[in-house]
């Protein structure tokens, strides 16, 4: 079925958002609010896809923004499809109310189809993760953890630590999964059936990310950004480079694992070109 009509989100302030027809470059990034997912445009380090409350957008490094999607539904999560450079999974709400289930796009976010409604759905996944080891393994956060082993068609129930905000699937093993939670970073080695701390410091973790070079990243509130080479636990501090803000979304380039992106709780986008050592604002002219 093609959809045609259709954490910490509370940290965002509701701003004025215009609906623009693709591909008119007419909106500035500063005017766009309620961004719930980010991903690099394949082959273009100066462009990001944004999943928002009002559809799917593309932002340029100079701050220009254009609507990409035909629909203007509320996208609440976004993750790249490791099996398709132009593919994405998402979830959210149709404009008329209800939930969208699991969506997939094969054309860079212009059109979307429902893969399935999810377990006891339709669901609204607020976080998604796809295993790069086996792209048929998909994890979704909705009233706990849902797990698919066939590309999102059928789902089973897993278990998720309390206060989970973000998920990331490991490159080391198909069953390794991270969860950033209000009680610290957690890790499962059995595909979301049981969990244990992934760090000695059990401070609130807002985000977790794993890159194709085997490095995992997390942000601990009050301590900053950390990275580790999987499967180790010797996390290296990278400082707090976001001017006191807290990352609420993270993304990594599929082509260059040293290229990272962050959306903070003030609505600002950041980019690192060196694996998190240095960061600069994205979408600001001259940065």
Query: 3-class DSSP state for residue 134?
Result: coil
> Distance between CA atoms of 178 and 159, rounded to whole angstroms?
12
Q: What's the CATH code, domain 9-282?
A: 2.130.10.10
Query: Average pLDDT for residues 103-110, to the nearest whole number?
Result: 96
pLDDT at 284 over 80: no
Task: Find the angle CA(280)-CA(284)-CA(287) to the nearest 5 degrees.
Answer: 40
Query: Could you tell me if 170 and 178 are in contact, meaning their C-beta atoms sit under 8 angstroms apart?
Result: yes
Enumerate the domain spans of the chain.
9-282
pLDDT above 80: residue 21? no
* Strands 74-80 and 88-93, sheet pairing: antiparallel
* Strand ranges inside 72-223, DSSP E: 74-80, 88-93, 102-105, 113-116, 128-130, 138-141, 145-148, 156-157, 164-169, 177-181, 184-188, 196-197, 205-210, 215-220
Q: What is the pLDDT of residue 287?
A: 55
pLDDT greater than 80 at residue 218: yes
Residue range 144-197, pLDDT digits in tens: 999 999 999 999 999 999 999 999 999 999 999 999 999 999 999 999 999 999
- Burial of 1 from C-beta contacts in 10 A (0-12 / 13-18 / 19+): exposed
Q: What's the predicted TM-score (pTM) here?
A: 0.88
pLDDT confidence of 285, banded at 50, 70, 90?
low
pLDDT beyond 60 at 10: no
Average pLDDT, the chain: 89
């Amino acid at each position: 079925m093609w959809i045609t009509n259709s954490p910490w989100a509370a940290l965002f302030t509701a701003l004025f958002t215009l609906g623009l027809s693709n591909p008119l470059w007419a909106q500035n990034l500063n005017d766009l609010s309620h961004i719930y997912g980010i991903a690099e445009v394949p082959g273009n380090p100066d462009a990001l896809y944004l999943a928002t409350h009002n559809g799917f957008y593309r932002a340029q490094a100079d701050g220009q923004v254009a609507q990409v999607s035909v629909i203007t539904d509320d996208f609440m999560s976004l993750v790249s499809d490791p099996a398709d450079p132009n593919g994405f999974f998402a979830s959210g709400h149709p404009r008329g109310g209800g939930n969208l289930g699991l969506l997939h796009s094969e054309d860079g976010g212009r059109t979307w189809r429902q893969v399935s409604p999810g377990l006891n759905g339709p669901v609204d996944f607020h976080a998604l993760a796809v295993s790069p080891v086996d792209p048929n393994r998909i994890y979704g956060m909705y009233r706990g953890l849902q797990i698919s082993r066939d590309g999102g068609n059928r789902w089973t129930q897993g278990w998720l630590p309390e206060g989970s905000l973000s998920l990331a699937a490991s490159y080391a093993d198909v069953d390794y999964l991270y969860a950033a939670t209000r009680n610290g970073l957690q890790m499962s080695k059995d595909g979301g059936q049981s969990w244990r701390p992934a760090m000695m410091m059990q401070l609130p973790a807002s985000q977790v990310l794993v890159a194709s070079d085997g490095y995992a990243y997390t942000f601990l509130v009050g301590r900053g950004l950390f990275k580790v080479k999987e499967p180790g636990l010797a996390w290296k501090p990278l400082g707090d480079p976001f001017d006191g803000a807290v990352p609420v979304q993270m993304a990594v380039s599929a082509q260059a694992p040293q290229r990272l992106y962050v959306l903070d709780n003030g609505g600002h986008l950041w980019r690192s070109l060196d694996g998190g050592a240095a960061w600069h604002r994205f979408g600001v002219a001259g940065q």
